[in-house]
Amino acid sequence: MREFNLALLGKWCWRLLVDKEGLWFRVLGARYGMEGGRIRDGGRRGSSWWKDITRIREGGELEGGWFGDNVSKRVGDGSDTLFWTDPWVEGIPLCERFGRLFNLAETKSQTVAEMFLRGWGVEGEDQSSDRWQWWPDPDEGYTVRGAYQILTTQVSATMDDAEKLIWHSQVPLKVSFFVWRLLRDRLPTKANLVTRGILSPTAHLCVSGCGTVETAHHLFISCSVFGSLWELVRSWIGITSVDPTSVRDHFVQFTYSAGGSRAQRSFLQLIWMVCVWVVWTERNHRLFRGSTSSSHQLLDKIKLFSFRWLKSTSATLAFNYHSWWSNPMLCLVLV
Ligand SMILES: [Zn+2]
């Protein structure tokens, strides 16, 4: 029933996107106020119904972003798309990607067409109107039945071994959700953005310059640049394993690669999640900031993050960063 309820609430999110002239949009806008062309979340004043809707809209951690991941804006003439806050470039709103610039922007609710007129880009050739797309069904748009199917297959039916490994008490929740999306191939990788029609098919190459299409499997496992991180991580920990064909198998196999004890598994589970998190962050830094870290710098980040996550949740761990750096298994008394 929970999924059905979410699917119904999702219908409201969809309606508020596609029907901005509608009565409900105006009523809610008047009650909670507007910001950047969207209705404010209302903070504590919001009714619980409205809180649920904004949580789905924002893709709060508990909802896993199932709504936001599946909608995108197709820009026609740009007159009905908000430049900063609508996800019209690669599925990510510009205000998230260029936060500092957004803070400096005088007008936060300009449309794409208005910004183009001000010289922010080439004026669109396209004379069709802008419209929201629901990725699972681009023609019909959002339906409660369709969303219910997505939610039920996402949440329970396909919960396999790999997905049970995501929930780890020492891993930040946002990272668990990131891995959850990765295992379902729902990250905005370039290959996925091309499939969704958000990115042009010629812009699909891996940011490392390796010359291969950026799929999740490529980025996290087989890329000659990012994939080489696994070898460094294995030699740091002192384990050996091969890279299996799917991301899921990789996760499961890595977790069990040091043998069977529960503590070892839990540790390797955490390391795997740190590792993919670091790769994704690096990929975004390269793509959006133009900054690049070497494999050894990335390994340092993995060491640092895992140390912090473990330390922050278990006060009894009595090792220092130096010994963690050189021999983590020994620190955890796993050898
Ligand atoms: Zn690559």
Q: What is the pLDDT along the chain (335 residues), one digit of tens a residue?
A: 677 888 888 888 888 888 888 888 888 888 888 887 788 888 777 888 888 888 888 775 555 577 877 787 777 777 778 888 887 776 677 787 777 777 777 777 878 777 766 655 544 445 567 778 887 777 778 888 878 777 776 544 444 667 677 777 788 878 887 898 898 888 999 999 888 888 888 889 999 999 999 999 999 999 999 998 999 999 999 888 776 778 988 998 898 887 767 778 888 999 999 999 999 999 999 998 889 999 999 999 999 999 988 887 766 666 788 888 888 888 776 54
* Cα 85 to middle of ligand 1, angstroms: 30
70 plus 181 within the same structural domain: no
Report CA(276)–ligand 1 centroid distance (Å). Answer: 14
**Cα of 68 to ligand 1 centre, how many Å?**
27
Are 15 and 119 contained in the same domain?
yes
Question: Residue 11: which domain range?
Answer: 2-152
283 C-alpha to ligand 1 centroid (Å): 10
Asked if residue 313 and residue 207 are part of one domain, the reply reads yes
Q: How far is the centre of ligand 1, averaged over its atoms, from the C-alpha of 273 (Å)?
A: 19
User: Within this chain, do residues 168 and 108 fall inside the same structural domain, yes or no?
Assistant: no
- Shared domain for 183 and 135, answered yes or no, is no
On whether both 145 and 248 belong to a single domain, the answer is no
Q: Provide the β-strand partners of residue 35.
A: 38
Q: How far is the CA of 61 from the centre of ligand 1 (A)?
A: 29
* Cα 215 to ligand 1 centre (Å): 9
Q: Does residue 230 sit in the same domain as residue 93? A: no
Does residue 145 share a domain with residue 30? yes
Q: How far is the CA of 139 from the centre of ligand 1 (A)?
A: 33
Mark which of 152, 172, 204 sits at the end of a domain: 152
Tell whether pTM > 0.85: no
Cα 294 to ligand 1 centroid, rounded to whole Å: 14
242/248 Cα distance (integer angstroms): 14
Q: Within this chain, do residues 170 and 142 fall inside the same structural domain, yes or no?
A: no
Domains contained in the chain, number? 2
